[in-house]
Amino acid sequence: MFRLATFKVDCTPPAGTVVGLNLKDGAEFIRDPLYLHGYIFSDNGGRYLIASMDYCTLLHSAYELLQTALAEGAGTTPERTVIHCIHQHDAPLIDFEAAKYIHPQAHLRFSWYSGIIDKCRQAATTALNDFVEIAETGFSEYRLHGYASNRRMPDKDGKIQVRFSRCAEQSLKDLPAGTIDPMLRTCAFKDICGGIVATMSFYATHPQVANTGNKFSADAPGEAVRLLEEKIPDATHAFFTGAGGNITAGKYTSADDLEGNILKFGKKLADGILLNIKGMQWEPAADIAWRQASFPFPAVTVDRNKLLAMLQEDHGHAASAAALLGADDFNPSPEYVINMLHTGNIRLLFLPGEPFVEYQLYIQSLIPDEFVAVAANCRDDFLYLPLASSFNETGGYETEYFCRATPEFEPGFKSAVTALLDRQPGI
């Protein structure tokens, strides 16, 4: 029997708490609450928890602390628990290992986090009293226009120019959208009375369109979920950012009208999700399978002396140096683990780090006639995950800063995900 329980936790830090890895100044105000939306799936094979959180990133021990707490609360294991961070930039970025290199009392700046962990554990436990039997699962996808655009755009000389989320350079805005995955994907779950009890939607782009670094905000995805809750109030709705490591809305955003950006792109997401819900392909609920694929992560050899010098010089790259040092401290030889929930014709893949969109497109190419949705940023220990060819390009920054992968990541990823989906390359 397929059963589902959902829960929602307000995880907004106190005003004044630091935003991102800026450990000097705190958020001046809270534009809107930051939530964790939890989904506990259960059948005869076990129990699985998927959470979507309005945070920029959880790394290393910060991720594992919350993962363990949620697993304990839901009566499952950390191996069957995934936390996805939507990756809004006006939201907490919690990396205890990196923070100690930036601020001598960094641990005090995150003292509130233990309270969030306790709230989430309790919410998961309480949700166990509210399981509903799922009779049907549905899936749909919609081509979303005017949102995603590739961030790494070559100029006439082939040098990579960066089209940021709020791009003010008209020459960059006028360039083509570039390589993207334009599809907004939604799956949904109906109870035995025929009512939709939950939806999950996936789209590949950096989600922020109004980040300033001085506030807490769920940005456009938060606005989209708010609108969905107004339209379908009896269901739990959550958004998941896909493999958008090199994707932004920069071609289409205003560099100045930040509030307008949130309203415009939040509504664009919500309208697309509503169209998906209206056009759902429904099927009887099937058994749940939870599968994993992994491979040794090809991490760069860290030059600690060079990174420590970058911290001292701080020419805008201190945070990157701290992130690499913290990652090396925590685990210099990690395993890259891909999780997949599979039920009926629905496959949901959860990827660590910030992969370029081409990895999502590769996944789609393996099963082009079936429904597969991808969420990235499911613990960000691996930072940017470029293509092998990206390391030979000039310009940009994703291969030089906040990157600990080598070109060997691409073949390792493709081999692992091909096996996970039971496909042969090119078939």
Average pLDDT score over residue span 259-272: 98
Residue 425 pLDDT > 60, yes or no? no
Range 75-80 average pLDDT = 98
294 occurs within a structural domain = no
Our CA angle for 148, 150, 156, nearest 5°, is 145
* Rounded mean pLDDT, 256-285: 98
Residue 109 confidence (pLDDT) above 90: no
427 pLDDT tier (thresholds 50, 70, 90):
very low
Q: How many CB atoms lie within 10 A of CB 233?
A: 8
Tokens of 269: 């997401």
**Domain interval for residue 237:** 3-289+333-420
pLDDT digits (tens, 9 = 90+) for 41-74: 999 989 999 999 999 999 999 999 999 999 999 9
Mean pLDDT of 170-183: 96
pLDDT at 19: 79
**pLDDT tier for residue 426 given thresholds of 50, 70 and 90:** very low
What's the mean per-residue pLDDT of the chain? 95
Predicted confidence at residue 21, as pLDDT, reads 66
Instruction: Tell whether the model's pLDDT for residue 423 goes beyond 90.
Output: no
What's the total number of domains in the chain?
1
| Residue range 354-409, pLDDT digits in tens | 999 999 999 999 999 999 999 999 999 999 999 999 999 999 999 999 999 999 99
Given this model, what pLDDT does residue 215 score?
92
Residue 308 belongs to some domain of the structure: no
Q: Round to whole Å and give the CA distance between 265 and 52.
A: 19
Write out pLDDT tens, residues 206-259: 999 999 988 999 999 999 999 999 999 999 999 999 999 999 999 999 999 999
The C-alpha atoms of residue 144 and residue 13 are separated, in whole angstroms, by: 32
Residue 316 has a pLDDT of 77
Q: What percent of the chain is modeled with pLDDT above 70?
A: 98
How far apart, in whole angstroms, are the C-alpha atoms of residue 349 and residue 93? 23
How confident is the model at residue 424, as a pLDDT? Answer: 54
Give the mean model confidence (pLDDT) for residues 318-347.
Answer: 96
Per-residue pLDDT band for 320 (boundaries 50, 70, 90) equals very high
| Helix, strand, or coil (residue 360) | helix
Average pLDDT value for residue range 280-295? 97
Contacts for 4 with CB less than 8 Å, ≥ 6 apart: 39, 40, 41, 42, 131, 132, 134, 189, 197, 198
pLDDT class for 162, splitting at 50, 70, 90? very high
Q: Give residue 22's pLDDT band: very low, low, confident or very high (50, 70, 90).
A: low
Q: Write the DSSP string, 209-234.
A: SS--SSEE--HHHHHHHHHHHHHSTT
Q: What whole-number distance in Å separates Cα of residue 207 and Cα of residue 23?
A: 23
